[in-house]
Structure 1
Amino acid sequence: MVRTLSDIDSIGVVGAGTMGSGIAQVAAQAGYEVTMRDIQEEFVQNGFDTIEGSLDRFVGKDKMSDEEAEATLGRITGTTDLADLTDCDIVVEAAVEDMDIKQDIFADLDETLPEDVVLATNTSTLSITTIASVTEREAQIVGLHFMNPVPVMKGVEVVVGEKTDDDVTALAHELAEDLGKETWESDDKPGFVTNRILMPWLNEGIRAFDEGVATKEDIDKGMKLGTNVPMGPLELADHIGLDICLDASETLHEELGDRYKPAYLLKRKVDAGDLGKKTGKGFYEY
């Protein structure tokens, strides 16, 4: 029997990077007890540092009190031991976007956790069905694709695998909404809704800059003023991380063909180690 939202008191998060720490933060803000796990203590501590910085910004903007920030942080426990997730009611995986790594994690979670625990993946492009195939609980695996930065962005994409149970899909929507998010639903097709449409847009903006159509500033300004988006393609790519954009584009290129071929300049930037905001330099300097 699938657990319902009223059964969920504690949430496990696998991965303490940008996405994992963000998911842990919003879950703790919503009142859930959170266990955040990564493979090294250093990574776990980096996750806590990210959360503290985010909470400090909320306090500084009067969106949260000092007491609320302290209480949020107090609901999060860090660990490097997967077995510490045993008492969690649902677990969200937010590891790197690599199928082999995700399948290894899900196989371990499937073996370690009680059989009625729902497992969700934050993947942005990889098949939910393929990730689930290494487990004995394929019906209880669903995509919960949070947008970056998780504490700020309101959207969560719920992705339904081939064998995902309808009640699990409903739980995914309800949980995301309880975390203060709004949801939409996608079938388990390459890129889902968001990245299927977003990646060609980002790549075309990069190509336009590389081919001298306009300066990067004017490309971004034109798209912001012309289409009413908050960020232009080059600024947004920097914000997401150019390595993440490249990985997503390469996955979609393999699955869907040449219209998703990564821009040459995107590859060159990643090879140079200029990954955007997180490294201090991408198309812009930070």
Structure 2
Amino acid sequence: MTEHSTAPDEPGAGAPRAMAVVGGGRMGAGIAQSFATAGSRVVIVEGGADAAAAAVARVAGALRRAAERGRLPAGVDPDEVVARIRAVGSIAELPAEAGLELVVEAVPEDAGLKARVLAAAERAVGPDAVLATNTSSLSVAELAAALGRPGRFLGMHFFNPVPASELVELVNAPETGAAALAAARNWTRTLGKTAVVVRDSPGFASSRLGVALGLEAIRMAEEGVAAPADIDTAMELGYKHPMGPLRLTDLVGLDVRLAIAEHLRETLGERFAPPELLRAKVARGELGRKTGQGFYAWP
């Protein structure tokens, strides 16, 4: 199911007037940048004042580089976008933020951590705010169990890098209300992205298919079927993928891909068993671009 347009009087039409992102790392900063560019007032929640300031600086740097490369929408002033963003050092500071319509949790893929963050965010904001998790594979229904208002909660799976990505995967859990889903659809369109709506299931649609392809590519490299660059080129030129599965694994992070594969193995079976090559690279700290070495060397 793909969303291309919405009526202006549907719930959530237009960018949210104010929203918050919990977690100011690469994904959280990208989410904040996207909403601020669309006109929202954005609050980034990080762990302490120094981390909060670093998160805003991360967004400002990304906007500056995008402007230098001509990748910002016409008429967008990077300084005006940054001016719409502020950061706080804890969720406890959110009640002072008036009119938050959306809170997106973007902390690491740890179910316990995400549940605690979401429960704290729910206590801190008004009853009408929509809560969303940016998980790429964890059960949205299980996370909803930590909430008092699960009807206002859903998955909003953004893709890296968020500002340039055209897709948001909306994960519809059993208790997700129609109004929350409609608002998330419309907000996604306002960001200039396309929504696909999937039922809450292990790996959703994108991670399940993406991990399956990535794991098979790793097995092929492990077996010496072809060099990583040749495997990637085969998919890029033969199947028109914008990026090969091994280069994409380096971009996502080998540790992240391993964690998702382990989760899918537990829930869907041995076809998602991680190859030994993946385990070995993670054990050696070869996590991809973020460490300078994965299937490729990254300067």
Name the structure 2 match of 1:145: 157
Counterpart of 2:180 in structure 1 is 168
| Residue 68 of structure 1, aligned match among 37, 62, 77 | 77
Q: Please tell me whether the aligned partners of residues 276 and 284 of structure 1 are also in contact (alpha carbons under 8 angstroms).
A: yes
1:11 aligns with 2:11: no
User: How many Å separate the matches in 2 of 1:23 and 1:244?
Assistant: 19
Distance across 1 between alignment mates of 2:178 and 2:193: 20
Matched to 2:124, the amino acid is: T
Distance in 2 between residues matched to 1:158 and 1:67, nearest whole Å: 27
Q: CA shift at 1:3, angstroms? A: 6.2
Alignment of 1:51-90 (within 5 A): 51-64=59-72, 68-86=77-95, 87=98, 88-90=100-102
Size of the aligned set, in residue pairs, is: 285
Task: Using the TM superposition, give the Cα deviation of residue 6 of structure 1 relative to its aligned residue in structure 2, in angstroms.
Answer: 5.7
Could you say if the C-alpha distance between residues 83 and 5 of structure 1 is closer, same or farther in structure 2, counting changes exceeding 3 Å?
farther
CA contact (8 A) 2:137 2:202 kept: yes
Measured at CA, do residues 114 and 206 of structure 1 come closer, stay the same or move farther in structure 2, by a change above 3 Å?
same
| Equivalent-residue separation in structure 2 for 1:69 and 1:8 (angstroms) | 19
| 1-structure distance, mates of 2:23, 2:50 | 12
Structure-1 separation of matches of 2:296 and 2:18? 40
Report the residue type matching 2:245 in the other structure: P
- How is 1:83-232 mapped onto 2 (pairs within 5 angstroms)? 83-86=92-95, 87=98, 88-232=100-244
Q: What secondary structure, in the 3-state scheme, does the structure 1 residue paired with 2:138 have?
A: coil
1:87-140 deviation line (CA, Å, top 9, x unaligned):
322100011111100111111112222222110111110111111111110100
Q: Report how far residue 7 of structure 1 moved.
A: 8.8
Q: Give CA deviations for 1:187-226 in whole Å, capped at 9, x if unaligned.
A: 0000001011110100111110111001111111111111
After superposition, the C-alpha distances for 1:145-198 in whole angstroms (9 at most, x for unaligned) are: 011110111100010011000111111110111111111010000000101111
- Paired residues of 1:59 and 1:66 also in contact (CA < 8 A): no
Q: State the distance in 2 between where 1:51 and 1:279 align.
A: 21
Q: In 1, are the aligned partners of 2:14 and 2:187 still within 8 Å (CA)?
A: no
SS of residue matched to 1:5:
coil
Deviates more, 1:12-21 or 1:270-279: 270-279
Secondary structure of the equivalent of 2:157?
Answer: strand
TM-score (norm 1): 0.95
Percent identical residues: 37
**AA at the equivalent of 2:193:** K
Secondary structure at 2:231 match in 1:
helix
Partner of 2:48: 40
Asked if 2 retains the 8 angstrom alpha-carbon contact of 1:97 and 1:126, the reply is yes
Over the aligned positions, Cα root-mean-square deviation in angstroms equals 1.7
Q: Secondary structure at the match of 2:103?
A: strand
Q: Give the whole-Å Cα distance in 1 for the aligned partners of 2:291 and 2:53.
A: 19
CA positional deviation for 1:26: 0.3
TM-score, scaled to structure 2: 0.91
Deviation of 1:84 after TM superposition, in Å, equals 2.8
The equivalent position to 1:266 in structure 2, one of 278, 284, 287, is 278
Residue 42 of structure 1, CA deviation: 3.8
Q: Could you list the runs of 5+ residues in structure 2 that have no partner in the other structure?
A: 1-9
- What is the alpha-carbon distance in structure 2 between the residues aligned to residue 58 and residue 163 of structure 1? 39
Which fold has the larger relative contact order, with Cα–Cα distance below 8 Å and residues 6 or more apart in sequence? 2
1:21 matched to 2:21? The reply is no
- Kindly state the Cα deviation for residue 47 of structure 1 after the two structures are TM-superposed: 2.3
2:3 corresponds to: none
* Displacement of 1:244: 1.0
Partner of residue 244, structure 1: 256
